[in-house]
Each structure stands twice: as structure tokens, then as C-alpha cells.
Amino acid sequence: MINSLTISQAHKKLKAKEISASELTQSCIDRIEAVDEKLNAVVHRNFDRALEHAKEIDAKGKFDHPLTGIPYLAKDVFCEEGVQTTACSNILQKKPPFASAPQASQKASDGRDYVPPFNSTTTKRLNAVGAISLGKTNTDEFTMGASTENSCYGVTRNPWDTERVAGGSSGGSASAVAADECIFALGTDTGGSIRQPAGFCGCTGLRTTYGRTSRYGVMSMASSLDTIGGLTKNVEDYATFLSAIAGQDPKDATTANIPVPDYGKALTGDIKGLKIGLPKEYFIEGIDSEVEAAVREATKTLEGLGATIKEISLPHTQYAIATYYVIISSEISSNMARYDGIRFGHTEDAENLIEHYFNARSSGFGDEVKRRIMLGTFALSAGYYDAYYRQSQKVRALIQQDFINAFKDVDAIVSPVSPTPAFTVGAHENDLLAMYLEDVLTAPQALAGVPALSVPCGFSKTNLPIGLQIMGQQWGEETVLKVGHAYESATDWNTKKPVV
């Protein structure tokens, strides 16, 4: 089935006219229709437009760019002109969530589904080279979560075991890529939201250096930490994808004026002499023994390829989650202020303006969003700012310094992505901190603004994927991808497929 192809395999076949973009698109659509009832990975379907787009591309018949004619799914926070985009939140749609009432009977106080009149820079760049958008994937509401359970559309299931979560918040994208519902998918990573679901579902996912990819047109969670990326079936595909979306954007002033390399050229397979650090603080109590064993085995593979492994220390690791939650909550309380029930989405009847704000926000936001807004409002309020927000930004500086010091001695750092393989749906339902601690190994890189890759490095006895994390210096995506590619070429974990 051609929906299971990688980007590079599909590109070769499209170029040789062995398959058409229409056939490839139809094959992904068929797969979504066959298995998504079990997974709940896709929340908005854009199939008619995708098939039309594919037909246009076939008519042109030119497949010079490696992404031309390649179907993809986007996390439900990427604005796309004319395509419903809701961040899996009730606040960006009419009520009830699955309203079937005819348009004519709709009144203003029912709100309106948000259909953006513009494109994110990422979807614009992808569409410009002829990649085909199939629709939107499930996420925790406004990307706030680590399991895709906090979605108004319900939980996304892991294709390796549908009793388990796909991870989050880019869980829909990871589940869809692992189940071959698309060739690649877009995601966002604020504190692990690409890497953790990639690890849980056995995909490849990279968090880029902050400012490497444009955030324009992607609904914000925490602006100083949000990064844009995706999920692919291998590292080679990721290099192709990243080369197409990275680079400065006049519409996002935090993107850097640093040239984008051809990431594919970095994939030489040669990592001889490379120094790789193993941080002792990442092998703490609570790390599953099978996860630890798989990661230690991976370091042996890297050694076998000529790299040297050295134990290092990132001493402030234990403070990362506390720092991360104060900073993101503060930024969330500010970013979520725009959802006031006036310019878009959900509204409620109200006597006056202030009541309108209260009504729209209280019925539109889910509990996790409310919790973070309130935590941030508190952390930024008079009398508490110094103790919480300012102290967190100081600790963040120390965490960044840990990485700067470590990279004086090593070229890359490896660790597990998550302490355990995918957990069962509902496992953290009554334990907020347990859910927050899912990010314990992925928040530090986010705070330091460094790139980190997740690649599959084994399976648990229960046949669940395990992820290897490879970190690099700021703007060091080439090194990270090179190590990931060399590892992947020496193993076959990334080629395993779940039976859905």
C-alpha cells in the first residue's frame, strides 16, 4: 500500500510516474477511513480539496521538489486558509461541539467555527512546493498536555496498543504517521510535544532550535518556548521536510537570520570521532528498566559506529519541570487573553461586555487551560512575580548554562525521550503532577532553546516503542540529524509497523 511509503520513496515513484499524486492522496484517505475510527487521530478532514490539489499537481506533472505531491496532516493549531482550525477547543467553534443544526437556525450566540482566512508560514511554504494538505490532527486543547486526552474531540489512541495514549500534545500527528494515514505530519513542541509522542508511537520527531522555524499562523501556547516541526517515518524524511519549512520569516521576528543548510547533506552516516555525552541526571529513579536498557544499548551501537561516549552532568535538570510550568503558565495567561468570544469562535448570551467575556471563556475553555491560565495569573500577580516568574527565568538561565558547559566537551547528548513507554488511557487522570512529570526529560532542552531529536530505539516486552533522544547545540540540527541517521541506518527499529 503506497500510503506506507516514506517521503523519499514516494518522491522517487512520483518522479518516475509509477504512481500519481492522486493515487497517493487517495491511498492515505482510504487508510484514514479504514482505521481512524480506532485511533481518533484526524479531527478535520479536507479530502475533497486534497484530491483537487492532487489532480492539479498530476496535470502539471512536475515532481522536482521532494515534497511535491506528498500528502500530509497538520496539527489542529496550524492556520490554513479556508480549513477549519480549532486547537481542539470548544472556544473556537460553535456549540455544541458537533452541531448538526442547519446554518439557517444558527444564532449569533451559538458562536462560529473558526475557519482562518490566512495560512501559517509553514503550511504556506509546504503548499507552495506542492505538498498536499489532508486535514487536521488531534491535540491536547491549545497543545496543553502530554497525552492528547485534553481534547474536546476525545482521546487519540496509540496504534501499537489502542488501550494506550499516543502521547501529546502532537499525539494525533504521531498516531497518524505511525499508522500510515499520511506520509508526514506537522506538530509543535513547547516542552516535548513532538518528541514524546514520536517516542510513544515509534516515529521520528525533532524539536528545532528556538527561532529556526516560523511560528506565524500557529496558535500560541508559550511564546518563548513554542517551536514548529513535524513527525516523519525516518530521519532522511525529516531532513527533507525541515529544509522546506525552516528559515527566517518577516512575519515572525523571533526567527533568525541564519542560512538554512541542506540538511540532507549532513546525513553522511559518518560519526567517527564524534563525542557523545550521556547525562547522569537523566537516568534517575522512575526510569523504566526496559527504557534504560534500550537507550544504553543504543549508546553501544553509536560507539560501534566510531563515536565516543562520555558521562556528563546537567546539574539543574531536577528544576526543569518547576521552571517550565511557571514560565509556560505565565505566558499562557497572557496568550489566552485573546480568546474573548468577540473576534472568533464561541460566544454566549450576555447582558453586558464583562459578562460576555466571563461566559464565553468559562464555557469555552477546558479544565487544563483554566488551570494554567490561573497559575500564570497568580505567578505574574503583584507580590508574587519575583518569587515565581523572575526566579524561574533565573533558573532557566542556569539550565541553559548547563548545556553550554556540556557542549564544551561533547558534540551531542543522548538520553531517553520519556521515563516509560506509552501509558494507558486515563492512567494520570487524578494525578496532575504525574502528567506534568511526563516532560521531565524533554523540558530542559526547551528551556535552553536547543534542538533535540526522537528516534525509535527498541520495543518493550509488551511491544511498545521506546524513543532515543539526541540533543545538539543551538543551530546544531545538522549534527543531531547526522547522529540520528547513522543510528537508524545501523538498526531497523524505524521500519517496524503497528497492526491497527
Partner 1 sequence: MATLTTDQVRHIAKLARLTLSDAEVKKFTTELTSILEYVDRLQKVDTKNIEPLKNVTGQQNSWREDAVTTDVIDPDALLECSALPIVDRQIKTPSAHG
Question: Is residue 75 annotated as part of the catalytic site, yes or no?
Answer: yes
Question: Is residue 89 annotated as part of the catalytic site, yes or no?
Answer: no
Cβ at position 303, least distance to partner 1 in Å: 32
Residue among 441 and 500 whose Cβ is closer to partner 1: 441
Within a 13 Å sphere around the CA of 284, how many CA atoms are in the beta-carbon half? 12
Does residue 99 contact residue 161 with C-beta atoms inside 8 Å?
Answer: no
Q: Nine-digit cell at 389?
A: 516568574
Residue among 274 and 447 whose Cβ is closer to partner 1: 447
Does residue 140 contact residue 168 with C-beta atoms inside 8 Å?
Answer: yes
**Residue pointed to by grid coordinates 505511525:** 178
Smallest Cα–Cα separation from 204: which of 467, 486, 26? 467
Cβ at position 258, least distance to partner 1 in Å: 9
Cβ at position 362, least distance to partner 1 in Å: 4
Sheet holding 465-471, edge to edge: 42-45, 132-137, 71-75, 184-189, 227-232, 204-207, 452-459, 465-471, 412-416, 275-279, 308-312
Pairing of strands 308-312, 275-279: parallel
Does residue 477 contact residue 209 with C-beta atoms inside 8 Å?
Answer: yes
**Residue pointed to by grid coordinates 528556538:** 210
Residue among 281 and 290 whose Cβ is closer to partner 1: 281
Cβ at position 210, least distance to partner 1 in Å: 5
Cβ at position 84, least distance to partner 1 in Å: 11
C-alpha to C-alpha distances, 497 to 178, 180, 200, 387, nearest whole angstrom: 7, 9, 13, 48
Q: Name the amino acid, one letter, at 107.
A: K
**Residue pointed to by grid coordinates 560507539:** 303
Catalytic site residue from 169, 220, 329, 392: 169
Distance from CA of residue 221 to its chain's centroid? 13
Q: Nine-digit cell at 210?
A: 528556538
Residue among 25 and 474 whose Cβ is closer to partner 1: 474
Residue among 371 and 496 whose Cβ is closer to partner 1: 371
Cβ at position 353, least distance to partner 1 in Å: 4
Catalytic site residue from 75, 94, 136, 482: 75
Residue among 25 and 122 whose Cβ is closer to partner 1: 122
Residue among 102 and 273 whose Cβ is closer to partner 1: 102
Burial of 98 from C-beta contacts in 10 A (0-12 / 13-18 / 19+): exposed
Question: Is residue 169 annotated as part of the catalytic site, yes or no?
Answer: yes
Cβ at position 283, least distance to partner 1 in Å: 20
Kindly report the number of other CB atoms within 10 A of residue 17's CB atom. Answer: 10
The one-character DSSP state at 143 is: G
Strand ranges, E, within 377-435 = 412-416
Residues known to be catalytic: 75, 169, 193
